Structure formats: C-alpha cells, structure tokens
Amino acid sequence: MKMIVVPEVELASGEKMPRLGMGTYKVVDEENFNNSLQLALDAGYRHFDTAFAYVNQHKIGEFFEKVFQSGQFKRSDIFFTTKVRANFMDSKDHVKNCVELCLKELRLDYIDLCLFHSPFVMEYVSDHQEIVGDPILFVHDKQALVRAWQALEDLVDEGKIRSIGLSNFNSEQITRINNEARKPISCLQVECHLYFQQKKMKAFCESHNIQLIGYAPLGSQGPLGATSLGIATSFSSNAPLQDENVKIMAERYKKTSAQIMLRYQIQRNVLIIPRSTNKQRIFQNVDVFDFELTPDDMAELERMDKIERIFRAGGLKKKNHPEYPYDLEF
C-alpha cells in the first residue's frame, strides 16, 4: 500500500500543521494501538491527536520514544496535539500542571498544539477526577477562561508548546478569550461531519484566522460508549457513513463513502482527524489527496447538512454548567 504525503497549512502561530491526522479518542487496547500507530506512520499520517482525558497518551509516548530512538523519524517530523482537561482550568498553576503531565506521558519536551478540551471549567480536585464532576465544583467566574488562556500563552513563551487553541467552545467564549489574548488562537477543534457541517462556526473562525479542525469527521459511528458520561448521542436516523447519496457519489469517483466525506472537509479547508484501528481503513482514510470533488458535488454535499450535533455533553447541560456552550447557535 502506498504512503501518502499529507499537505500542511500554516497556522496563525506561524507553525505548519498537516491537514489530516490520526484521531485516538477511545483507542486504548495496547496491542492494537501500537499496531495502528505504526500503520498510520506507514500510511503517511504525521499528526497524532490525543488528550489528557483519553488516558492513552502514555502509550503514544512509549511508542514514539522507540520510533525516535530507532531513527525512523525525527521529533520534528511528527505533529502532536493534546488537550488540557477542564478540571485543570481553574488556575494558571493547574493548567501548567496538566501540560507538564501531558509532556511526561508523551515523553516529549514540547507539544505542537495544545487545546483546552472544553470550556467546562471546574475546580481541581485530583489529576484523575472525572470530567462530569459535581455542580459544586463548577467555576462560575467568567474570567476563568481568560486566566487559563494566559497560562497557555506563558507555556508558549517557555517553549513547551508551539501553538495553542480551543475545543468545544462557542463563538462567545472564543471572543471573550480573543479580546484579551496576547497570542493567537491558532485552532478550534469541534465536531464536524456531513450531518453537522459547522457552516457558521467555520465562517466565524475564518474571519478570525482560526483554523477549524473537525473531530468525528466520519460521524464517529455513534456514541461508542460515551453515553455513560452524557457526552455523545446517536444520530436520529442513519449515520453519515450509511448515507445512500454519498454511496452513489462514491461509486462515481471509485472511492469509498468515507473518502468522499473526508475529501469534502479537506476541500472546504477543515482539518480532520479520522480514527481507525483497522489497517485497510487507516490507509484508506489518508488516501484523499489524489482526487478532487467537482463544484456540483461539493454543493450537493453542502446541502446534506442536517445541523445534527451528536457530541452534546448532555451530562453537563443537565447539571447547568455555567459555560455550557451549545445553547448558542454556534
């Protein structure tokens, strides 16, 4: 199978970032995971997206330490994204603690892109406190997000992070930070797929030079067990991968439905992090740079938007977190 060269974009920070990376949410099975990381490297993936909350960073760290020691790749060949969990965002010191933990787990001396995983600021209890938390622990201070951002800016100054950004924030929260930011918000990572295309958020980000990164670009095959945390729900009817119109279009291009949906995001300038642990699909998902969707097909895919969010963080909505982001349209 061929190795794909993934093109890059330049972020507001001035750093380069691959347009497509490997998502690792919910990938924890060790043997399978090491295999899929090696397959991803063989296929051409150079960006790996993880998070403190995924509880798999240490495995990524162990794997890449060996890769770098073997000389197969240099540190600068690979782009790592990680995310600070919301219960470290109540003070600058806790943000810094979380980033130090990420560096230690990933066995790196700098992180390429560090995001706030979500705006659900909570009081710190312990490194391993679950994200859903307790309403008593919710931080009700609107300045908390700004203060936490200042800690990320300091870490850029210290050389520990190259670019900084946000995830699962709404436009009001982004603006609140942007108004006081000393360093650019390089990226926003949010749910983005055929049935939830984020058109308004995309336009908003473009007007602020923030690069949109789409998670669950294939629709994530439903909630994957995340329902217990109230994070994700299923689609009301079929999932994007089962969409009959996409299947018909895919046959015309001699591609799979997944490749059509991934190519669509690439062509509309949304960075993507598809996730798979299956060899064939790992190769397939990165193989989206040798064809182009016609303007008519782009327009047809654009019309398929159902504005149907599945990652709704329902548990935090129910507990009335003051920073619950999805009551706003975008």
Positions annotated as catalytic residues are 54
Q: How many residues bind ligand A2P (CB under 6 A)?
A: 18
Phi and psi angles of residue 253, each rounded to the nearest 5 degrees, phi first:
-90, -5
Neighbours of 272 (CB within 10 A): 27
**CB-based contact 310:60 (threshold 8 Å):** no
Q: Which of 50, 57, 81, 284 binds ligand A2P (CB under 6 A)?
A: 284
Residues constituting the chain? 330
- The residue (of 208 and 306) whose beta carbon lies closer to ligand A2P is 306
Q: Which of 18, 212, 285, 313 binds ligand A2P (CB under 6 A)?
A: 285
Shortest distance (Å) from residue 22 CB to ligand A2P:
9
Residue 216 found at the interface with ligand A2P (CB under 6 A): yes
By the 10 Å C-beta count (0-12 exposed, 13-18 middle, 19+ buried), 255 is classed as buried
Pairwise CA distance, residues 311 & 317, whole Å = 12
Q: Which of 166, 275, 283, 324 binds ligand A2P (CB under 6 A)?
A: 275
Task: Kindly state the helix (H) or strand (E) to which residue 252 belongs, with its residue range.
Answer: helix 244-253
Residue 250 found at the interface with ligand A2P (CB under 6 A): no
- The residue (of 137 and 241) whose beta carbon lies closer to ligand A2P is 241
Residue 217 found at the interface with ligand A2P (CB under 6 A): yes
Pairwise CA distance, residues 187 & 83, whole Å = 12
**CB-based contact 169:116 (threshold 8 Å):** yes
Scanning 87-95, 147-155, 219-227, 304-312 for contacts with ligand A2P by CB under 6 A, the matching segment is 219-227
Residue 211 found at the interface with ligand A2P (CB under 6 A): no
Sign of CA dihedral 65, 69, 75, 79: negative
Scanning 49-57, 119-127, 273-281, 307-315 for contacts with ligand A2P by CB under 6 A, the matching segment is 273-281
The tokens describing 227, both together, are 């329902």
Residue 197 found at the interface with ligand A2P (CB under 6 A): no
Shortest distance (Å) from residue 32 CB to ligand A2P:
9
Pick from 37, 83, 4: which is nearest to 262 by CA?
A: 4
The tokens describing 246, both together, are 């996409």
Pick from 194, 227, 191, 193: which is nearest to 330 by CA?
A: 191
Scanning 102-110, 278-286, 307-315, 316-324 for contacts with ligand A2P by CB under 6 A, the matching segment is 278-286
Residue 198 found at the interface with ligand A2P (CB under 6 A): no
Q: Where in 20-79 is the site for ligand A2P (CB under 6 A)?
A: 23
Where does this chain bind ligand A2P (CB under 6 A)? 23, 216-221, 241, 256, 258, 274-278, 281, 284-285
